[in-house]
With several copies, the nearest count.
Chain A
């Protein structure tokens, strides 16, 4: 077993972004995980249908954009439809209070926001008695927006809505 392969195996089975911290807990003590990840990113970029992407804290293995649509029907859904809908509402109305989202989406939205925050697609800060929600950089990465600007994301979603 070598460290490069352990990182590769972990990213494969996780099916979700892993932090450097999680990866470090898997490899040998003297391994430089950041270096391993960088070289894996490069290796995957050169060849094949898969990619390894590093964003800030997280590293994830996924299908390259150009193949995503072709295999989407085979893939199991990553986010359940109701959660995805709540996310869409947040992305379109942001910055938006949690109570406003619950008003639009029902009380289940609290659970959804919890999941979306755990997935780091949404972040929040206290705002009076509720919380103000907005999408994150990870959100922009996940949906392939080239910008992190909330205004631009909202505009782009607005265009998609027509």
Chain B
């Protein structure tokens, strides 16, 4: 890591004069301590560590600049995108690996399942174009505003799409699980990582919690949510 020169005095562990530099400082020190690899950034990991550092600063009652919070929200958005859309693996080096493969592998015979894929529709193509356009054109600040707007939209969608139906769906699933286990984690209810599915599972939980059918507990910021049965 050759960033000391670039990062200036803030990278030397002194209190940064300019609080706007704090975000850079956090990232640089994460890299210096080997907590992130600048050559292979895992955005999910970086976001988590960045947010942890921000939380730490707040705990120490240090001033966190608005710019740092902006960076945090942008990272968070990138993390959400990364979770939503895993890029396909490329397998170019497979043959190379075969040569070195000292562990043999058995002739495992998987079950035979149908693997037809359907065609993409024109409206899906347009949908992706909208996403691509938005992504390019919005400045970071506008992206932040948009993020909030989207959250609001998502809530609105959840409301209009027959919330009771969603509540019933989640209720059923929880009943089934509580038959076998004492508590359920929110992550166990998530079958695909789309924002829509996550929200359509989360909102019903809030409804059920206000009806005192379940109790929700989140031990740490961004951590998993623990669901306990009260009166289902």
Interface positions of A (Cβ within 8 A of B): 9, 12-16, 19-22, 24-25, 29, 34, 60-63, 65, 67-69, 71-72, 75-89, 91-93, 104-106, 108, 111-112, 114-115, 142-144, 157, 160-161
Given contacts A16-B113, A63-B112, A143-B109, contact A72 B129 (CB under 8 A): no
Interchain nearest-CB distance for B35 vs A (Å): 11
Kindly identify, within residues 90 to 109 of chain B, every residue whose CB is under 8 Å from any CB belonging to chain A.
90-91, 93-94, 97, 101-109
Does B132 lie within 8 Å of A89, measured CB to CB? yes
A-chain residues with CB within 8 Å of residue B62 when the two chains form the complex = none
A-chain residues with CB within 8 Å of residue B124 when the two chains form the complex = 77, 84
Interchain nearest-CB distance for A82 vs B (Å): 5
Does A92 lie within 8 Å of B110, measured CB to CB? no
B-chain residues with CB within 8 Å of residue A84 when the two chains form the complex = 105, 108, 110, 120, 124-125, 128
Does B132 lie within 8 Å of A143, measured CB to CB? no
- Is residue B136 contacting chain A, with contact meaning CB distance below 8 A? yes
- Is residue B176 contacting chain A, with contact meaning CB distance below 8 A? yes
CA distance A34 to B133 in the complex (A): 43
For chain B, the count of residues having a C-beta within 8 Å of the partner chain is 51
CA distance A106 to B120 in the complex (A): 22
Does B106 lie within 8 Å of A161, measured CB to CB? yes
A-chain residues with CB within 8 Å of residue B130 when the two chains form the complex = 161
**What would 15 A/B residue contacts be, using CB atoms closer than 8 Å?**
A13-B116, A16-B116, A24-B172, A29-B165, A68-B112, A78-B113, A82-B87, A89-B129, A89-B132, A92-B105, A92-B106, A105-B101, A108-B97, A142-B120, A161-B130
Cβ contact of A78, chosen from B101, B105, B120, cutoff 8 A: B120
Secondary structure of the A side of the interface? helix
Does B88 lie within 8 Å of A78, measured CB to CB? no
- Is residue B131 contacting chain A, with contact meaning CB distance below 8 A? yes
Does B173 lie within 8 Å of A75, measured CB to CB? no
Does A21 lie within 8 Å of B189, measured CB to CB? yes
Cβ contact of A92, chosen from B91, B107, B129, cutoff 8 A: B129
B-chain residues with CB within 8 Å of residue A88 when the two chains form the complex = 105-106, 108, 125-126, 128-129, 132
